[in-house]
Amino acid sequence: MTATPEICDILVLGGGGREHALCWKLRQSPRTGRLVCAPGNAGIAAVAECVDLAIADPAAVAAYAAEQGFGLVVVGPEGPLVAGVVDALRAAGIAVFGPTAAAAQLEGSKGFTKDLCRKAGIPTAGYRRFASGADAHHYVAVHPLPVVIKADGLAAGKGVTVAESNEEGLAALADIPGAVVVEECLSGPEASLFVITDGTTVQVWPSAQDYKRAFDDDSGPNTGGMGVISPAPRLTEALLQRALAEIVMPTLAAMAAAGTPYTGVLYAGLMLTEQGPKLIEYNCRFGDPEAQALLMRLESDLTELLLACAQGRLAEITPRWSGESAVTIVYAAMGYPRTAITGTVIDGIDDAEALGVTVFHAGTARAASGKLVAAGGRVLALSALGHDIGEARSLAYAAIRKIRWHGGFYRRDIGKA
């Protein structure tokens, strides 16, 4: 048995709003010693040391973590996970929160996940896999509508088209360079379910509902997420238990049986259909901006929790969650999700926070003048708590109006009843 260190130095990989929320919460722990984030951003710099590191290069990450003596590495984005950063860190004897490359296939290959679901009888949309867009051409040309076209591999939230015509489906196919999955179209409200696991113990986290389209009333292009509410109002306790029993637990059992047990956070995107919850997709990491809402509700020590999970001791910890609801609004740069306009000056964050919200930075930087400027597509995420979604929503919108920024836009309907 290795003794648990009192103080733990932590390396966080990533530099978005999700990683700001992780660093913000890790910093609150008396167990956290040195906190380093690669690459971080201007907001993260207030709570952690930001460094340059090739975060998708497993050997580089493991060498840096070993040399610096980190007691825990927390991986934010999917890229480093699919590339095998967790495998390299474990081989170097460093505790890490996240799945191995083999387990991260649940996000890294949609075809892998669909085949696993079929084998294990997990409810999901019917599908066929093709090695290339060209191979799928005839199938898509005659498929009943709407038809769903997906890139098999990682596509940064841009790999899915729900096509209303066969021509639109064929156009989507032409844009996908590699393997393709073609799916039946499901309908119903969506909800996201999160569990963390050390490979043995499974801990259910609060649910969330995200807003994927750029503009109000779910119009405009798909984005990485423009806002979140937690808990997801449509995911009742009964549906949640059903999704766990029919989808998440059989997936974890199948991964363990294949000799590739899943560890870290598993994020299940669900469609609540008339036949019950069905899996849309898995993510092998926290959502962004879902983490900015969920972590607001965590009352326990995140360092203890993630360290216990990374060391296979998750059974020792029962986290406390606030009974309050959370609403997170993303403030994005004009032009997002296409070409975001960057370099514009942002003011008023202190005024927003004075109302009691937390402002997480996603794409921000410090200009030479010292001013805070937009440096990405999604720039800020404001998170508020309230007795219910309505109260949290009022607070979040009151706060976002305090921010003085001419280069951004946000949805007005996050959490609207």
Q: Is 87 or 290 the residue whose CB approaches ligand GLY more closely?
A: 290
Q: Which of 118, 125, 137, 260 is nearest to 199 (CA)?
A: 260
The torsion angles phi and psi of 272, rounded to 5 degrees, stand at -90, 85
Interaction of residue 213 with ligand AMP, rule CB under 6 A = no
Nearer Cβ to ligand GLY (183/288): 288
Q: In the chain, what is the straight-line distance between the N-terminal and C-terminal CA atoms, in Å? A: 51
Residue (225 or 264) nearer to ligand GLY, CB: 225
Cis amide linkage into residue 39, ω under 30° from 0: yes
Q: Give yes or no for residue 281 binding ligand AMP (CB under 6 A).
A: yes
Nearer to ligand GLY, 58 or 224 (CB): 224
One-character DSSP codes across 234-291: T--HHHHHHHIIIIIHHHHHHHHHTT----EEEEEEEEEETTEEEEEEEESS--TTHH
Closest CA to 40 of 345, 352, 375: 375
Percentages (nearest 5) of helix, strand, coil residues in the chain: 30, 30, 40
Residue 91: CB minimum distance to ligand AMP, A: 31
Strand pairing category for 264-273 and 276-283: antiparallel
Q: Where are the alpha helices (DSSP H) in 121-248?
A: 133-142, 166-174, 237-243
Are 22 and 302 in contact, with CB atoms under 8 Å apart? Answer: yes
> Which of 19, 87, 210, 246: binder of ligand GLY (CB under 6 A)?
210
* Residue with smaller CB distance to ligand GLY, 290 or 301: 290
Residues with Cβ within 8 Å of residue 353, at least 6 apart in sequence: 359, 399
Dihedrals phi, psi of 347, to nearest 5 degrees: -130, 165
The residues in 159-178 that bind ligand GLY, with binding defined as CB under 6 A, are none
With CB under 5 to 8 Å by kind, the binding choice for 190 among ligand AMP, ligand GLY, none is ligand AMP
Question: Residue 370: which region, alpha, beta or left (left: phi > 0; alpha: psi -120 to 50)?
Answer: left
What is the distance between the alpha carbons of residues 290 and 232, in angstroms, rounded to a whole number?
11
Q: Which of 183, 190, 290, 301 binds ligand GLY (CB under 6 A)?
A: 290
Least distance (Å) between residue 212 CB and ligand AMP:
5
146: cis peptide before it, omega within 30°?
Answer: yes
Token pair recorded at residue 390: 């309505």
Closer to ligand AMP by CB, 8 or 160: give it.
160
Instruction: Note whether 213 and 397 are within 8 A (CB).
Output: no
Site string for ligand GLY, 256-275 (x = CB under 6 A): --------------------
Q: Does 212 bind ligand AMP (CB under 6 A)?
A: yes
| Contacts to ligand AMP from residues 141-200, by CB under 6 A | 148, 157, 160, 162, 183, 185-186, 190
Per-residue contact string for residues 105-144; x = within reach of ligand AMP by CB under 6 A: --------------------x-------------------
Question: How many residues sit close enough to ligand AMP to count as binding (CB under 6 A)?
Answer: 14
Cβ proximity to ligand AMP: between 164 and 316 the closer is: 164
Interatomic CA distance for residues 133 and 172, integer angstroms: 9
List the structure tokens of 11: 């390396």
Exactly one of 19, 152, 246, 288 binds ligand GLY (CB under 6 A); that residue is 288
What is residue 380's DSSP assignment?
Answer: E
CB of 180 to ligand AMP, least distance (A): 13
Tell me whether residue 152 or residue 288 sits nearer to ligand GLY (CB atom): 288
Span of 115-123, 167-175, 283-291, 401-409 interacting with ligand GLY by CB under 6 A: 283-291
CA–chain centroid gap for 184, Å, is 24
Decide which of ligand AMP, ligand GLY, none touches 290; Cβ closer than 5 to 8 Å per partner kind.
ligand GLY
User: Could you say which of 99, 206, 224, 377 contacts ligand GLY (CB under 6 A)?
Assistant: 224
Nearer to ligand AMP, 87 or 107 (CB): 107
Residues in touch with ligand GLY (CB under 6 A): 157, 210, 224-225, 283, 287-288, 290
- Contact residues toward ligand AMP (CB under 6 A) are 125, 148, 157, 160, 162, 183, 185-186, 190, 212, 222, 269, 280-281
